[in-house]
A = this chain, B = another copy of it.
Amino acid sequence: MDRSFHALGDGTRREMIAMLARNGALSANELRSPFSVAQPTISKHLKVLEKAGLVRREINGRVHLFHLETAPLREAEDWISRHRTFWEGTLQRLEKFVNAADGQEDKT
């Protein structure tokens, strides 16, 4: 989880994920193309994504193809969702309670 969120906390890596989502499996070079960074920099980013399990590396000869792995994305998404919705539910209950109290106000 730490690794997933950390990997997502960088714009370059998020853009790489976006590319994979749009275009399917891409090579390291293809993933590099939109950015003006040195090749080893991309190599590092890819290793971060791989260690987080967000991408899977398929080695075909000298070209490394990267595939998006949705399971950890889903886990991260679910973590956020659980906590966000729980809290929003609490807010709603609170709101109802306050409204109900407002209705009662005159009667006290």
Q: How many copies does the complex hold?
A: 2
A81 touches B77 (CB 8 A): yes
A23 to chain B, nearest CB (A): 9
- Min CB distance A78 to B, Å, is 9
Q: How far is it, in angstroms, between the C-alpha of A32 and the C-alpha of B11 when the chains are bound? A: 31
Interface of A is mostly: helix
CA distance A91 to B1 in the complex (A): 24
In the complex, whether A44 has a CB less than 8 A from a CB of chain B is no
Q: Which one, B6, B14, B84, contacts A70 given CB within 8 A? A: B84
**B contact residues around A17 at 8 Å (CB):** 83
Instruction: Tell me, rounded to whole Å, the shortest Cβ–Cβ distance linking A65 to chain B.
Output: 15
